Structure 1
């Protein structure tokens, strides 16, 4: 599944999370102890519920990411950007 089919990607690198869709890669700060995202539990038009792995914590941690304020701060039209996204996957390609 790719951008054309409405699939966005979430990953992390160092202290940043990366949300990619439509030729855009949006980076935002995350705790330095984040190792990686494990799975997407829910996608609701800009709001994500994910499982993440952190250094020093044995079990996966449920995290919540609200992309709307991030997109708005970057001067994106959040509604327009998010509308074609049907699914989000964890991808470390």
Structure 2
């Protein structure tokens, strides 16, 4: 009986991509759901995010921003959060749809 405890070389990308996807998912979830717990320098005030609201006017945050840099920080922050999600989605899709060379056909 043959037992292997190490991960085959062809599975390493899958393990690394899944670990990175888990880390990115945890980061996105914590920064979006727990935003009122974090305070980053002068970028945002944690107490301002304890209020819940629904904006029914599209792009009202750009027109009626409380500070001039608010829309820029919001847009760049969303890009910084969600670009890795798309990048990892492509990597995971390619990795898991490609046949595994270590498996017999």
Give the TM-score normalised by the residue count of structure 2: 0.24
Give the TM-score normalised by the residue count of structure 1: 0.26
The structure where helix makes up a greater share of residues is: 2
Higher relative contact order (CA 8 A, sep 6+): 2
The structure where strand makes up a greater share of residues is: 1
Kindly name which structure, 1 or 2, has the bigger radius of gyration based on alpha carbons. 2
